[in-house]
């Protein structure tokens, strides 16, 4: 049997199929082997080209450092040793380089020893919380120090208790410089808060995650045809005309985020003890709407952004919306899998296997062009392991929530396949 998604057993759920699970495990190992080349001798991490060689840029962004720590911590929990020392290197780099000893918090990017961009962004800070939480689950000795520091910073500067949401951006010395509020930082805030609750059992993390989800899903998504507005003003009114950074703050709505929010909504609901709420139905509506709007029925793949009526705005096909759709479908299958969930899950993996997974070198290509070949219009090289590794590991984990603990109990990456 060759190592492709199309060779899986046609019967039952792929989540239970040993051949599919073996496929996921091998893909995770290949990606980890590829990204083992990330550490720089002088500290921090390289961005790697398609073949695994370092790109020339020496700028290190906060989300890159934190996502590597989180990803390798998950892999360690799943049974794969960190042969490149990425968790240790990343935790050290976060504390000694990204962390701002003068003003507190974490700068957005570094170039060698110099600060390239000292902006304090909620988007970057919530990933510090995610990295600290996953490192704690993986038993890193410095995790508690980092977790306490970032929790205090988020509480003091970013958390808006009245709104129950995260503010977005400050100067290096904590002066507000815009009235922008955004969904993206809050969505990843939910991810980090749920991980922090898993790592500490502190109820406040879970409570804040629920408040954020209630606003964006029961509030904004329900009022916008189950598409989530990305951008808001200072009073948390949607700003439909906003268009910012094309990667982090694109115009319109982003179906990849609907998949991610659906998965996090189910995770939070499960982690909260499965209360009698509409969370499962709301998650299904988010997923069904995003699939109907964004799937390219002719070529496969998912459009990057949509207009507010659901029509395609930016048709570029990136890897990460596919990985997030896989995660959301896996969660729905675990909850109460329906035939359409299984069909979509298989369709997504078959597309990824044919077009996005780099079977020669490991990892996933970040974009494919109109000719179905790898393209580099938005990204240089392979920017991170985070999305693709979670697409492999989350389906392997039992249950809807607390994937770190589940993976530690199962250790799927430590088993021979």
> What is the rounded CA–CA span in Å between residue 215 and residue 223?
11
Residues 345/326, Cβ–Cβ less than 8 Å: yes
**β-strands 231-232, 181-182 pairing:** antiparallel
Residues 169/178, Cβ–Cβ less than 8 Å: yes
What are 305's strand-pairing partners?
A: 314
pLDDT tens per residue, range 21-55: 999 999 999 999 999 999 999 899 999 999 999 99
pLDDT tens per residue, range 163-199: 999 999 999 999 999 999 999 999 999 999 999 999 9
> What is the rounded CA–CA span in Å between residue 17 and residue 91?
36
Q: How confident is the model at residue 112 (pLDDT cuts 50, 70, 90)?
A: confident
Residue of 245 and 304 predicted with greater confidence? 304
Surface-to-core class of residue 252, CB atoms within 10 Å of its CB (0-12 exposed, 13-18 middle, 19+ buried) = buried
Is 257 considered catalytic here?
A: yes
Classify 116 as helix, strand or coil.
strand
Residue appearing with tokens 């949607």: 238
Q: Which of 125, 257, 265, 355 is catalytic?
A: 257
Looking at the predicted structure, is the pLDDT value of residue 292 above 70? yes
pLDDT for the residue numbered 248: 82
CA-based nearest residue to 76, from 411, 386, 399, 417: 411
| Residue range 152-168: mean pLDDT, rounded | 98
At 409, which helix (H) or strand (E)? helix 403-410
Q: How confident is the model at residue 1 (pLDDT cuts 50, 70, 90)?
A: very low
pLDDT for the residue numbered 12: 84
> What is the rounded CA–CA span in Å between residue 229 and residue 186?
12
Residues 252/316, Cβ–Cβ less than 8 Å: no
Residue of 306 and 57 predicted with greater confidence? 306
Q: Which residues contact 272 (CB under 8 A, 6 or more apart)?
A: 206, 210
Express the helix, strand and coil content of the chain in percent, nearest 5 each.
Answer: 50, 10, 35
What is the per-residue DSSP string for 267-300? HHHHHTT--SSSHHHHHHHHHHHHHHHHB-TTT-
Residues 234/168, Cβ–Cβ less than 8 Å: no
Classify 384 as helix, strand or coil.
coil
Q: Which residues contact 25 (CB under 8 A, 6 or more apart)?
A: 392, 396, 412, 413, 415, 417
pLDDT tens per residue, range 117-145: 999 999 999 999 999 999 999 999 999 99
Domain boundaries, the chain: 14-57+177-412
Q: Which of 98, 140, 197, 387 is catalytic?
A: 387
Residue appearing with tokens 């969505």: 187
In 286-400, which ranges are E strands? 303-306, 312-318, 367-368
> What is the rounded CA–CA span in Å between residue 98 and residue 94?
5
CATH class of 14-57+177-412: mainly alpha
Surface-to-core class of residue 99, CB atoms within 10 Å of its CB (0-12 exposed, 13-18 middle, 19+ buried) = middle
CA-based nearest residue to 106, from 117, 120, 126: 120
Residues 166/208, Cβ–Cβ less than 8 Å: no
């Amino acid at each position: 049997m060759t190592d492709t998604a199309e060779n899986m057993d046609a019967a039952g759920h792929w989540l239970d199929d040993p051949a599919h699970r073996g496929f996921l495990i091998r893909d995770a190992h290949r990606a980890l082997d590829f990204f083992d080349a990330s550490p720089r001798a002088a500290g921090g991490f390289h961005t790697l080209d398609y073949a695994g060689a370092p790109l020339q840029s020496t700028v290190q962004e906060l989300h890159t450092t934190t996502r590597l720590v989180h990803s390798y911590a998950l892999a360690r929990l799943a049974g794969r040793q960190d042969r490149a020392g990425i968790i240790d290197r990343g935790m050290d780099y976060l504390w000694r380089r990204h962390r701002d000893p003068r003003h507190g918090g974490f700068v957005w990017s570094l170039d060698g020893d110099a600060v390239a961009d000292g902006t304090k962004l909620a988007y970057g800070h919530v990933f510090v919380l995610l990295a600290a939480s996953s490192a704690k689950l993986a038993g890193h000795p410095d995790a508690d120090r980092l977790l306490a520091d970032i929790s205090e910073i988020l509480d003091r500067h970013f958390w808006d208790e009245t709104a129950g949401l995260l503010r977005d951006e400050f100067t290096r010395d904590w002066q507000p410089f815009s009235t922008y509020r955004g969904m993206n930082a809050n969505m990843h805030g939910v991810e980090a808060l749920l991980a922090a609750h898993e790592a500490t059992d502190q109820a406040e993390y879970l409570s804040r995650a629920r408040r954020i989800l209630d606003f964006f899903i029961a509030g904004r998504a329900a009022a916008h045809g189950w598409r989530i507005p990305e951008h808001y003003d200072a009073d948390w009114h949607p700003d439909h005309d906003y268009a910012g950074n094309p990667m982090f703050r694109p115009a319109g709505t982003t179906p990849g985020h609907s998949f991610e929010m659906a998965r996090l909504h189910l995770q939070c609901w499960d982690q909260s003890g499965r209360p009698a709420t509409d969370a499962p139905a709301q998650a299904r509506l988010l997923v069904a709407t995003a699939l109907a709007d964004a799937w390219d029925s002719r070529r496969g793949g998912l459009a990057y952004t949509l207009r507010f009526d659901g029509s395609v705005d930016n048709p570029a096909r990136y890897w990460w919306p596919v990985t997030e759709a896989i995660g959301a479908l896996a969660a729905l299958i675990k909850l109460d899998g329906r035939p359409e969930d299984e069909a979509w899950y298989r369709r997504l993996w078959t597309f990824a296997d044919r077009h996005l997974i780099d079977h020669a070198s490991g990892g996933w290509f970040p974009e494919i062009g109109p000719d179905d070949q790898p393209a580099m219009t938005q990204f240089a090289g392979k920017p991170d392991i985070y999305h693709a590794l979670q697409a492999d590991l989350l389906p392997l984990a039992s249950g809807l929530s607390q994937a770190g603990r589940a993976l530690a109990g199962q250790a799927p990456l430590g088993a021979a396949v």
